[in-house]
Structure 1
């Protein structure tokens, strides 16, 4: 269009279109080269506004310049989103009205029939309204989609009752920690914890009370572990603790602190005060040991702790 204006000897219009083309390319360059999308968007959008003001003010070719303003609404909403885009459109519309209705004796500009000006403004507002409605619907649908995505991601990664990591995530963490173990020669231990006589809690107080116990335990466990540690719901009333940079000896100290805390903790459920105990099995990763093998060692220690009377910890290197 700039070349077309040049061939028709509309030199000023041609120059402005060439300038606009350069500015748009500058916006593309900023986005491509510097990855600055915000600056790039501002360059494109506000240069577009200036071009539209110029076309309305001068009339463009045969006073058809104002017909280009219809692209403003979708571009504004696309770049700035619903709320800010709506403000931009309102400001743009106000300035267009001022330009078109300013008396020519104050500032000389293209003259349009009153019918054309009114219909242009009405049609522009109609297009802007429909575009805004579409953008609102799209934005609302996008937010709902993101909420559902976050919800399903949470369901995939976290236990819905305790909000702890689930078994799958815990296994993935163990794989990561095991790779660190092989590279950095660090120690890694796990604890498998089981609630003693949990069936009695369900039978005596009901399954809702059992759920309340598990929720309370999850909170207590999170309070007792270190920042680098992880606790996950392993299944039923079993929990798995992953303790990076921790030997079996130090893991036993942590386990005893947790066991003691649980033993002295009273869980209030409705009108009942529920006291429980836990048993824990400890196993340390060795360089050539697989994850399932170490978990199996910890499981055996857990059952040994239960056989020895419950409410105790048992490490794999203990008799």
Structure 2
């Protein structure tokens, strides 16, 4: 129970529509904002009790900004506001650390805290922007540490201490940069592989059209929209006539070439909002949103004519192709599965009628 609430609290602001990287940043900002707020409040109260008013006030202001950054993640659902909150957190942290360097913090240990800055900055702000921010921060602390005659720094640090803190900061920045670069490269490779696998799972490898799984995934929102708006969606199922004869006479490579040619023809003929898929074997299914079956019949007849008038070339052979079509409609009375069955039956009637024909469901 507690673990579930804690998990919800940490993931507050994340959204499945966001990228994995954005959701990860939201989680880290929530964690850092929460822990940073607690730590700075504790240190602030301790400083105030020790009568260190300026240090206590600075820490308290930082805790408020950390809390604000975290609340931004919880309230806003905009990625840009989340990026702003992450950068605000980094800038606040930098400002607090510069204050600790100038004032010295508790027993002049303030500069030690800058070592947490490189990994936080690089993750929150990204590699390129984070490196620029860290470079600017390094220039500022080098100015504070090593430019003679400055009266800004009130704490008294030994030269060896300042030198070592600077070297360690540069080393941690370098190692954090290498890690962040490696992490981003790994993420990019995994993301590319995931997209490749998803494409392979939803597309036919021969024609590069949607397969059954891919088509259903694509049209589900469209069918839901059509149902809400009570509009019609036409289905056109087509089958290449005597495809087995093509394979037997010219070989399977010729059959593959024919399928690829038909796929290109269908893709070029369809509207941008239409869906084209290889339904299986030599069958193709077309989904035409906002289209009645009467209008889809005319579309199918034009496709039938174009296929018949476009022989496919394979090596030195010219292969004449025809196709039979079945047309149906998804509407308020006929759901998708029933319409698909009707299209299949209509296509079978077109085969019985002599092929190279379009039939419409009753």
Q: TM-score range by the shorter chain?
A: 0.7 to 0.9
RMSD: 2.7
Count of aligned positions: 317
Structure 2: distance between partners of 1:155 and 1:136: 28
CA distance, structure 1, for counterparts of residue 288 and residue 150 of structure 2: 82
Instruction: Determine if the alignment matches structure 1 residue 232 to structure 2 residue 282.
Output: no
Q: Which runs of 5+ in 1 are unaligned?
A: none
Instruction: Find out whether 1:20 has 2:65 as its counterpart.
Output: no
Report if aligned partners of 1:248, 1:284 keep a CA contact under 8 Å in 2.
Answer: yes
Match of residue 41, structure 1, among 86, 93, 97: 86
Partners of 2:55 and 2:218 in 1: CA distance? 64
In the other structure, the counterpart of 1:73 is: 118
Q: Distance in 2 between matches of 1:5 and 1:287?
A: 70
Q: Deviations over 1:81-118 (max 9, x none)?
A: 22222222222222211211011356554332222122
Larger radius of gyration: 1
1:52-94 Cα shifts (integer Å, max 9, x gaps): 1122222222221110101101110120122222222222222
Partner of 1:60: 105
Q: If the length of structure 2 is used for normalisation, what is the TM-score?
A: 0.77
After TM superposition, the score normalised by the length of structure 1 is: 0.86
Corresponding residue for residue 305 of structure 1: 350
CA contact (8 A) 2:230 2:331 kept: no
- The alpha-carbon distance between structure 1 residues 146 and 9, as it changes in their structure 2 partners (threshold 3 A), is same
Q: 1: CA distance between counterparts of 2:151 and 2:124?
A: 35
TM-fit CA distance, 1:240: 0.9
Asked if residue 143 in structure 1 is aligned to residue 188 in structure 2, the reply is: yes
Deviates more, 1:41-50 or 1:152-161: 152-161
Distance 2:267 2:184 in 1: 37
Deviations 1:167-209 (Å, cap 9, x if unpaired)? 1344466766666666555444322111122233334444333
1:98 pairs, out of 143, 155, 159, with 143
The residue correspondences of 1:263-274 to structure 2 (distance < 5 A) are 263-274=308-319
Which stretch shows the higher mean deviation, 216-225 or 175-184? 175-184
- 1:105/1:119 CA distance change after superposition, 3 Å: closer
